[in-house]
Amino acid sequence: MSFEYAISYSIVQQQRQVFRLSENKDVWDRFDEISNGFEKGDATVDPAISVANNDNEAEDVTVKDSQIERPPTLSTRSGVNTGDRMTKKKKARKKKRKYKFNIKRILLIIFLLMVLAAGAVGIWALDVIRDTPRIEADNIYTLLSENSVLYDDAGNELENIFSAGAGLRTNLNFTQMPENLVDAFVAIEDKTFWDHKGFNFIRIVGAVVDGLKSGDSIRGTSTITQQLARNLYLEDTKSLRSMERKLKEAYYAIQLERQLSKEQIVEAYMNTIYLGSGANGVQAASQTYFSKDVDQLTLAECAVLAAIPKSPNQFSPIKRLDNTDILDPDSLDFLYRGETFSIWYQDAYVDRQLLVLQFMKEQEYIDEVEYQEAVAQDIRASVNPNIDASLEISTYFADYVVAEVIQDLMFEYDVEEEVARNMVYNGGLRIHSTLNVNMQKIAEAEFAKNANFPGVTGLNKDKAGNARDAAGKILLYAFGNMFDEEGNFTLSPSEFQWNEDGSMTVFKGNRLNIFKTEVQGAVDYSVEFKPMYRVDDGIFYAIPGGYLLIPSEFKDRDQDGNLILKKEFFEEKTAFQAVGETIVVAKDYYQLKEKVIQPQAAMVIFDYKTGGIKAMAGGRSLSGKLLFNRAISPRQPGSAIKPMGVYGPALQRSVDMVANGSTEGAKMWTAASVIDDAPLVLDGKLWPKNWYNGYRGLHTLRQSVEQSINVNAVKTFNDIGPATSLAFLKKLGVTSVVESGSINDMNPAALALGGMTQGVSPLQMAAGYAAFANQGIYTEPVSYTTVTNKKGEILLEGAPKREQAMDRGVAFLMTDILRTTVTNGIAGSAAIGSSPVAGKTGTTTDNYDAWFVGLTPHYAAALWIGNDINLELSQGSIAAARLWSKIMKQVHVGLPAGSFPTADNIVSVTIDTKSGKLPSELSALDPRGTVRSEYFVNGTQPVEIDDVHVYATICADSGELPTPYCPNPVTQVRIRRPEGSVIYYEGAGVADIGYEVPHYYCNLHNLDPVMYPIDPSKTLDTTFVWPGTPPGLGDDDVPPGDDDGDGNNGNGNNNNSGTDKPEWLN
């Protein structure tokens, strides 16, 4: 006979024996018929449900029909003559009819109805139990989810990870639970626990009677076993108070009692019970309220925990609230005041805690001395809430590491995402992360200060105040153009129309987006507000949109994509109210997304030696989980891409050329290579422009980085080609380059200047730069070191992948070039004083994005500032460099200054910075001081002598080449640019033209501009009269200073090489 049948049959048998009625034969026959059929379907107890590890085998439950005695049929009363009864009835008709109250008959009817009802209940109970799933209690802990724990890099608990609504839980064995704790729960929750078989019948009857007397619902009937059954198997319906749920609860409780020992039941119960403040189970509660394990709890503290289950919200000794929601702080007894939330003490639990102690004493679990000591303990002094460190910092890193662990579990164990996700959220994993809480808090604190960020400027507004892009398309609607002061949204007549069938068409393309959605095969149409903005207290906020709350059954879409609202939508009270010719939607019928402060920012701090991510801020002034993480989202990097996309690969190519012995036919790029910042014409257009006006002339590669010269980056890129650039970027971990398609990144605008299709994330920028400081080794960023199960067995190890991405010498050169970009270049705001800093700024077109990516001997860090929508910043990269410095100064407090590592293949050579070659005697004569020392990878250093500096004779008055008529010619050291340099283009010239050998003749002393052409931008002095030979000079005569009549008076721009010293220099 099945276990389910045995329970129900026993219930009905007891009901038969109570009533012993004779008029219910048909009912019993019908019940026997059902019972026999049920027996045939399942005649024995399944051995699988026997109690695991129980010395006493469960007896088979068998109910024999012979055990049930049918009540005898009621007989007629003896001694009564039937004929006499009939005669009396006839006589009675002649008299007035009288009615007599027959109490016996009424009782009989009542009894019969009760039996019928009991039979119906029995049949109903059989049906309910038959449909109730069987359980296997030996796998009970698969149902007890245990939160995973995230630790920081010092091993401190950082955050508990659990599924939504699951709460904290750490499962313990019965032997790990102190005796006082178990006794406290048993005393208050179920004093007969150790004796009953699953439920307490007397307690149930008493609760029913109390409920009938008070008129309230039936409460307090569940034993510990029933509560466990409810928590495990009736999670979805445990809040319902129904007979069906109670029956299932009792059924499961009896099964648990049959399959588990009492110790196993109470163990599972105490690991399951919700104890307030997000804590499930006694261990989680002990840590939440007292910051210690259960084996360290005092008797009084055990009683506090046992007092909570009756009303966890009311009897929790602590309360937590966001600071913005605290209206009367003076009335609260604060235990903790944080930057974003506070925790205070409440004593509503005290009476019930004392009741727990009283019950323990009455049930002889404790004596009078123990009772008095527990009562005397000051719980207020004992409460020590375990402050979750993550609650004071954003969850960007936690979300990131969880995603990484899930992906790695899928790969390592070849499981589906759902399985890996369940392991993380419910499997009690221990995730040891790389996060440094102090660094994270520093970044978060600076991100919270509005003064650290530029503003939004240069809005291109239409007449209505909506923000537009350059093409005139609306990017953000002004909030006032979407909602009135009461928060109503009004559809204008041009945005909708009424149809003949009573429906309404809402036109697409205005202030609402209409999207088709499909969830599990159900089609719906989402009606969403377009993005908007508002300015509150001078701070710019973007609102990503929102949703109109319209039931799906009333929505459709026509072939043009317009929304159709069916006429039924308007037949009852609706969100859409006609007001004149408009439609008004009240604020109760829509939902807006959270407003987001602008500009936004993101930062990653990376330990390139270990590969650990030490801090990650994915936004500012935002809270919650699963937020948009800008730290891992690509943005255009601007000039910050130059070291990785241009100059690093150029230097590496030269080292490869030397190593391969193929130095012919391609330019050798070194830190001393000279690039002319002069007008560059590509495809007939003057491009690119520099961040400053004009062009500054000859610069070394180092100086080109220091000054972030766009022209020189493009010229270098055009020499090495996109393939070389791409290969180098990939070695540095950049994965977001669009390599093909009609719009791609295989061009200088993208890979030399950072105007990429997608961009690069701050995380990849930090890791890419880190390879320069790490001797050319690219280290893949990791977010955790180990992941273990609750037994301490290692499931995953976060060992980073490493690759020698470039020559050690190239890495040193780029690091040193970036160092002088901070000390000598435009990134001086990033200096931190205590340690050397190497880094590069980056700004995109129209100041949409501002970057600083930097290195110290300890860390690499990338900081991005920008708007989520392309709007102009009031400041560019200087704001990013300044904030980077503020944060990294604090990060480096207490750290040794350190220095960047050198390389054994680096040599230092003195060079001339205008030729990139070894200095000549003339190099030192340049008044700008162009001789300096430079580092080279051995084998790439120059061997040629400076040939750019030359002697030139010029007119001392005009600064141009002298004509034969110039009275004051002088000889100076000037430079001669490489062939092909563009000096002027459409009025634009180079700033160092004053050091160039002149290209035109003097306009002040010139009697023959045809022979001696002057600068077109200058005016010929026609008043000049040569005081020498009068006009009419013969053909045989020559101008003074021109011995051979060729017009060459010894300047360096003609036949004279310019290398011979004039006499006055000897």
> What's the confidence (pLDDT) of residue 290?
93
Of the residues 541, 573, 598, which one is the last residue of a structural domain?
Answer: 598
Compute the C-alpha angle 356/362/365, nearest 5°: 75
pLDDT digits (tens, 9 = 90+) for 881-890: 999 999 999 9
Nearest-Å Rg of the Cα atoms of the chain is 44
Quote the pTM value.
Answer: 0.74
If one compares 49 and 323, the residue with the highest pLDDT of the two is 323
Residues 6+ apart with CB under 8 A from 471: none
Whether residues 967 and 999 share a domain: the answer is: yes
Whether residues 365 and 270 share a domain: the answer is: yes
Say if 370 falls within a structural domain: yes
If one compares 21 and 925, the residue with the highest pLDDT of the two is 925
Instruction: Tell me the pLDDT of the chain averaged across its residues.
Output: 83
Is the pLDDT reported for residue 997 higher than 80?
Answer: yes
Whether residues 952 and 1064 share a domain: the answer is: yes
C-beta separation of 214 from 396 below 8 A: no
Q: How do 157-161 and 148-151 pair as beta strands?
A: antiparallel
> What's the confidence (pLDDT) of residue 40?
41
Whether residues 113 and 26 share a domain: the answer is: yes
Say if 111 falls within a structural domain: yes
pLDDT digits (tens, 9 = 90+) for 270-296: 998 889 887 889 998 999 899 999 999
If one compares 53 and 231, the residue with the highest pLDDT of the two is 231
Whether residues 912 and 1013 share a domain: the answer is: no
Say if 224 falls within a structural domain: yes
Is the pLDDT reported for residue 323 higher than 80?
Answer: no
Whether residues 928 and 967 share a domain: the answer is: no
In degrees and rounded to multiples of 5, residue 1014 shows phi and psi of -105, 165
Confidence of residue 490 (pLDDT cuts 50, 70, 90): very high
Mean pLDDT over 997-1023 rounds to 94
Of the residues 536, 569, 598, which one is the last residue of a structural domain?
Answer: 598
Query: What is the three-class DSSP state of 241?
Result: coil
> What's the confidence (pLDDT) of residue 213?
56
User: Exposure pattern of 419-455 as b/e (b: 16+ CB <10 Å)?
Assistant: ebbbbbbbbbbbbbbbbbbbbbbbbbbbbeeeebbbe
Is the pLDDT reported for residue 553 higher than 70?
Answer: yes
pLDDT digits (tens, 9 = 90+) for 241-263: 566 667 777 777 788 888 889 99
Mean pLDDT over 1021-1048 rounds to 57
Residues 6+ apart with CB under 8 A from 371: 357, 358, 360, 361
Of the residues 917, 937, 957, which one is the last residue of a structural domain?
Answer: 937
pLDDT digits (tens, 9 = 90+) for 266-275: 998 999 888 9
Q: Please state the domain count of the chain.
A: 5
Say if 957 falls within a structural domain: yes
Overall residue count recorded for the chain in this entry: 1066
Confidence of residue 45 (pLDDT cuts 50, 70, 90): very low
Whether residues 976 and 923 share a domain: the answer is: no
> Which residues span the domain enclosing 976?
948-1066
Say if 964 falls within a structural domain: yes
pLDDT digits (tens, 9 = 90+) for 607-665: 999 999 999 999 998 765 557 899 999 999 999 999 999 999 999 999 999 999 887 87
Confidence of residue 840 (pLDDT cuts 50, 70, 90): very high
Say if 687 falls within a structural domain: no
Whether residues 518 and 466 share a domain: the answer is: yes
| Distance from the Cα of residue 170 to its chain's centroid | 26
Whether residues 119 and 167 share a domain: the answer is: no
> What's the confidence (pLDDT) of residue 166?
60
C-beta separation of 291 from 385 below 8 A: yes
Say if 141 falls within a structural domain: no
Tokens representing 908 are 């230092």
pLDDT digits (tens, 9 = 90+) for 364-418: 999 999 999 999 999 999 999 876 544 556 689 999 999 999 999 999 999 898 8
Say if 991 falls within a structural domain: yes
Is the pLDDT reported for residue 891 higher than 80?
Answer: yes
Whether residues 295 and 367 share a domain: the answer is: yes
If one compares 446 and 26, the residue with the highest pLDDT of the two is 446
Whether residues 216 and 113 share a domain: the answer is: no
Is the pLDDT reported for residue 500 higher than 80?
Answer: yes
Whether residues 306 and 164 share a domain: the answer is: yes
